[in-house]
Amino acid sequence: MISAFGAGLLFGIGLWLSGMANPGKVLDFLDVAGHWDPSLLLVMGGAVAVTAVAFRPLLKRTPMDLKSSVDKQLVIGAAIFGLGWGIGGYCPGPALTALSTFSAEVLVFVGAMIAGGVLARIASPAGPGA
């Protein structure tokens, strides 16, 4: 419990420091035809550099049942997610931590995001979950 809270806190600080919690900056990264801002490549690079080193020994110690297949659901789901990300500039983590701004727009986004997840569960009950 406390460790999950701490991990969330650190994750959130990382989102703010990196600029991910600023939807304008995210859209500047996705806007390759405009004033392209490559910063988010470094956010992803910095994060993956850490997980690439540490995840393998951890997963070896305690194996998890993680999916590895590439299927139609994965591609369709990722494409739909990407369209929403490119419209609003929010993916789930930044949207949740940005709730702290008490802005009505973020509240609308998060409410719709939760509803979208519930809709997907109803449409495809055997869906992949996490």
Q: Cα separation of 110 and 91, whole Å?
A: 10
Task: Give the contacts of 16 (CB within 8 A, at least 6 positions apart).
Answer: 97
Q: Minimum Å distance from CB 107 to another protein?
A: 9
Determine if 126 is a binding residue for another protein (CB under 8 A): no
- Total site size for another protein, rule CB under 8 A: 112
Site for another protein in 25-54 (CB under 8 A): 25, 27-28, 30-40, 42-52, 54
Q: Minimum Å distance from CB 85 to another protein?
A: 4
Site for another protein in 79-118 (CB under 8 A): 79-93, 95-101, 103-106, 108-118
29 neighbors 39 (Cβ within 8 angstroms): yes
Q: Minimum Å distance from CB 86 to another protein?
A: 3
Determine if 64 is a binding residue for another protein (CB under 8 A): yes
The sign of the CA dihedral 49, 74, 97, 84 is: positive
Q: Cα separation of 117 and 21, whole Å?
A: 21
